[in-house]
Structure formats: C-alpha cells, structure tokens
Amino acid sequence: MSCAFTLLQSPVGTLTLVARGECLAAVLWEQERENRVRLGALHRDDQHPTLRETARQLGEYFAGQRQRFDLALDFAGTAFQRQVWAALLSIPFGQTRSYRDIAQQIGHPSAVRAVGAANGRNPISIIAPCHRVIGASGSLTGFAGGLPAKQYLLALEGRQSLALAF
C-alpha cells in the first residue's frame, strides 16, 4: 500500500508525517537515517485528513497546549517491537522511563538491549514518545532525531534537568 506524506516545520526541524490509509504510520526526522523506518512508496498529499490532524495536534504540542495525542496509529514492526512501542504510549507526559523499566513492563526484564534497539526503530516519533526513554543513570542516550531534539522535547515537557551523555 502506498503511503501519503507531508512536511511539517517544527521547533525540532522539518518533520515528515506519513499516513498509511487513515492511520499515522510515521513521524520522520529531517536527518533521518536511511532504512531506520521502512515504508515503501510515498506520495505527497498535503491535504490528507490524517496528516492535517497530526500536524494540528503536533502544533498544539509544540505550543504547550497538548499533552496527549488522539490519532489512529499503524505501527509496522515485529511483535516485540510493537510491544515496546505500545509501552512508549503509556509513559505519561513529563515523565521518563529507562530501557530497563520498559523491558520489565513488557515482561522481558533481560531484554534491555533489544528494547533499546526497538526504541531506536520507533516509526512514530514524538507521538509514541521514545524521547521519554533515558539511560539508567538518568542521562540522555541515543535518539533518531538527535540528542538536541530529545533535550528540547524533554524540556518542553518540564524535564530540563536531564543531561546529555556522549
């Protein structure tokens, strides 16, 4: 199935919003790593209802007027990845979790590295808040949008005290 996309200018750069049918399938970063998210054929559709609604809700989020998103999501991945991404959706606004916390939540306490890998392949960034997952020490760790974007998103949500880890 072909996917529709549009571009959204945001405080963290140009985001590519992608819909598959009536569901949001991806929020991609300006400097997206090739093949991090596999979507197939894309065509631009700036009037797609799902993409327009996603852009509206993201605008509210960046303006500090939205803490939860209300969008139909289409996660394409393995069963394990979908478990991790579902766990991301449960992290409340303004809170963080470690990779170990997520591994324990999904019933795989020894799969911390696998959780990290799945988190890194989250196709629906910001909406499924992978930026809320941090290192066990409380430091910021890898992020597809880059650590400055992760720091910005966490600061927007009231978590300014977190430090970058390189």
What is the tens place of the pLDDT at every residue in 110-123? 999 999 999 999 99
DSSP type of residue 90? T
Q: What is the pLDDT of residue 166?
A: 35
Work out the pLDDT band at 41, boundaries 50, 70, 90.
confident
Q: What is the pLDDT of residue 160?
A: 53
pTM > 0.75? yes
**Cβ neighbours of residue 66 closer than 8 Å, sequence gap 6 or more:** 57, 60
Mean pLDDT of 68-86: 95
pLDDT averaged over every residue in the chain: 90
Share of the chain above pLDDT 90, in %: 75
Catalytic residues: 130
Q: How confident is the model at residue 144 (pLDDT cuts 50, 70, 90)?
A: confident
What pLDDT, on the 0 to 100 scale, is given for residue 147?
Answer: 87
Q: Nearest to residue 119, comparing CAs of 131, 109, 105?
A: 131
State how far the Cα of 66 lies from the Cα of 64, in Å rounded to an integer. 6
